[in-house]
Structure 1
Amino acid sequence: MTKKQIRMNAFDMNCVGHISHGMWTHPRDRSAHYTDIAYWQNLAVTLEKGLFDGLFIADIIGLYDVYKGGPETALLAGAQTPLNDPIVLAPIMAAVTKHLAFGITVNLTYEQPYLLARRFSTLDHLTRGRIGWNIVTGYLDSAARGLGGDKLPNHDARYDVADDFMEVVYKLWEGSWDDDAVLRDRERGVFADPAKVRRVTHRGPHYAVDAIHLSEPSPQRTPLLYQAGSSDRGRRFAADHAECIFVNGWNPKAMGVIVRDVRRRAMESGRRHDDIKAFAGISVVTAPTEAEARDKHAEYRRHASVEGALAHFSASIGLDLSRYGLDEPIGFVKNDANNSALEAITKRSPDKVWTVRGLREQMAAGLGSRHPPIVGSPSQVADQLVDWIEEADVDGFNLIRTVTPESVEDFVALVVPELQNRGLYKTAYEDGPIRQKLFGTPRLPARHRGASFRPGAGHRAAE
């Protein structure tokens, strides 16, 4: 039996329908108030009460317009549409909490590293080191069209661009300002010592920068780095850059293969096994007894939007599932969408042939998601979480909301005390930035690729 301390993030999105599509129609659901500051601040306070490590905020650029050849289904279901910017949520939630961290998803394909570096430094300052970046490269052609292109760049090529992007931001965050560059000397009228501030120069295959980082060093310098890609190229990227990986699926054994592979690759790059923490996406329906939990699940299920889930999944895998017969097998077709999502039901499910009929059944049981929830009493939920920890080799979970805020409040009130009673969950926060809480240091360790861009390190960070 594991004695690993279980880490918990909530998993959300600045929209009505995130993963469990259709739940916004439930009479107790409040996600339609996602445009209100109070909605997010109340969530943050609840999560901090439950000693959650962070709130992982997803994002996507573009509309889900693959299913049935247009965006109508996603619009009807509210499937991640409309969708507001995730990054602005962190300061308003940080204002009412002290420890809760925020993992913000930002698609680097449509960003410039010079400006993004300042944005995350600003957030890290405002939150006193409670900020992380979920690094994504996107998967929707609709995003490319919205930003002046025709279609998304090639899947693997996007990661090549991302590697160059990361080199730029590492140079800016780690190499431009010395820790003691800012003096704030009122008597001499000297705010910063120019001799301790360096101009970053970069001439890479995709980006060129010649500038001083606009922000002084923040508590973490580099934000905590998350990554969620599970394709082969995504795993290579994670092994080089990620400190936390997000893995999704309903098969803990297959998930464990991905987690162990990323850690193996990281160790081959000179990092340590425990330099990467893995989080599995789960949803939970719980109540004081198993019977009550199952009744609640049946009640929730009546609000599930299978059509919304199909619109979401079709866009994710780049295949219009409305064109498939109900019992026609879904095979792997490499494209420039989310390859790992398609691999999850093809290559990583060898004992099952997936069809649209099977997906529809799974999505109904999954409350508008293809991932079935954990349903049971607090003790039963805790047992399953422990099983996942052991079988998938993960460190914790990203809790997906179903009916909100009820699902999070239930977890905090019922499951957290059960885990604490078993000695598997903290009873108080540690002090310091989020990287300090997770890894024991507020800054990137010297063996991380980003640390090599510090002055005097292996790479020439700045000139």
Structure 2
Amino acid sequence: MTLSSQNKNPKQIILNAFDMNSVGHINHGLWTHPRDESHRFNELSYWTDLAQTLEQGLFDGLFIADITGVYDVYQNGLDLTLKESIQLPSHDPSTLVSAMAAVTQHLGFGVTVNLSYESPYQFARRFASLDHLTHGRIGWNIVTGYLDSAERLIGQKGLKDHDLRYEQAEEFLELCYKFWEGSWEDDAIQKDKLNRVFTDPSKVHAIQHQGKFFQSQGVFQVSPSIQRTPVLYQAGASSKGLAFATQHAEAMFIGADTPEKLKQQVDKIRA
């Protein structure tokens, strides 16, 4: 799809749907409309039907938002959040991907995961596995969190300092890259039935990481997936977040109410 058939160098528009594994994503209250079926978000058929509809409509991807924690600040409680279903209940978005991938061929899946509450190893293993199962159609939206309620849920008192969260995120990514890119060589898998060699041991390497936030020693359990590293999304807007996003992300979220303000953001990102 091109912006203009007259343009000698037409640009591609990439179309992504935007949803969340919950009833109320952004348009809160829409679930009350007679034709709205988002109350079925906990049914697998709701998501497989959506994925097939998007692929038939030539969408490139489905982006799935997520939060860790709940909105409990307004009126000092959860009553309105619960009554109106404002991203509560909400379920784990990564659980949807395999089923949607099974009923599509081209649709990509961008999944939001908060790294502040993940182990780098377990996270890297889960997304490498999804990259295999989707044939390279998985992406990760990197977030560091913004809710005190999330910290309390995991037994902490409150949100860590903003810049410290990004410092932790840098090391999280560093370690994930080691798992995805550094542990297995491209031709490590042999599948040689005659000689009983599935993997060449000389082509698999242990990771050694001793950092400020994380330590890891050993071989990554997942053989190289199609992408190795999934497509990376980020939405950093602060100076620390912008530095992180432009270092790691392949796609960045921006938003403004005028084209002039958007241009300022784009120029800053490109710089």
1:79 equivalent in alignment to 2:62: no
1:113 equivalent in alignment to 2:114: no
1:147 equivalent in alignment to 2:117: no
Aligned residue among 164, 168, 193 for 2:171: 164
Distance in 2, matches of 1:54 and 1:258, equals 24
1:202 equivalent in alignment to 2:199: no
The one-letter amino acid paired with 1:116 is: F
Q: Give 1:52 shift.
A: 1.0
1:15 equivalent in alignment to 2:41: no
1:178 paired residue number: 185
Aligned sequence identity (%): 55
Q: Alignment partner of 2:49: what SS?
A: helix
1:26 paired residue number: 33
In our comparison, the structure showing a higher alpha carbon Rg is: 1
Q: Give 1:256 shift.
A: 2.6
Distance in 1, matches of 2:215 and 2:264, equals 37
The one-letter amino acid paired with 1:107 is: N
1:125 paired residue number: 132
1:254 paired residue number: 261
Distance in 1, matches of 2:96 and 2:210, equals 34
Aligned residue among 43, 59, 62 for 2:69: 62
Q: Alignment partner of 2:237: what SS?
A: coil
Distance in 1, matches of 2:93 and 2:250, equals 21
The normalised TM-score by structure 1 is: 0.56
The one-letter amino acid paired with 1:196 is: K
Distance in 2, matches of 1:61 and 1:253, equals 33
Distance in 2, matches of 1:86 and 1:250, equals 29
Structure 1: which 5+ residue stretches go unaligned? 265-463
1:227 paired residue number: 234
The one-letter amino acid paired with 2:217 is: D
Q: Alignment partner of 1:133: what SS?
A: strand
Distance in 1, matches of 2:114 and 2:249, equals 15
1:243 paired residue number: 250
Distance in 2, matches of 1:209 and 1:241, equals 21
| Aligned length in residues | 264
2:7 paired residue number: none
> Larger deviation: 1-10 or 198-207?
1-10
Distance in 1, matches of 2:238 and 2:28, equals 25
> Judging changes above 3 Å, is the alpha-carbon distance between structure 1 residues 234 and 17 closer, same or farther for their aligned structure 2 residues?
same
The one-letter amino acid paired with 1:213 is: F
> Larger deviation: 232-241 or 118-127?
232-241
> Judging changes above 3 Å, is the alpha-carbon distance between structure 1 residues 249 and 84 closer, same or farther for their aligned structure 2 residues?
farther
Question: Any idea what the Cα deviations from partners look like across 1:123-164, whole Å, max 9, x if unmatched?
Answer: 000000000000000100000000010101011210000001
The one-letter amino acid paired with 1:72 is: D
Given that 1:230 and 1:258 are in contact with CA atoms closer than 8 Å, whether structure 2 keeps it comes out as: no
> Judging changes above 3 Å, is the alpha-carbon distance between structure 1 residues 164 and 53 closer, same or farther for their aligned structure 2 residues?
same
Q: Give 1:248 shift.
A: 3.1
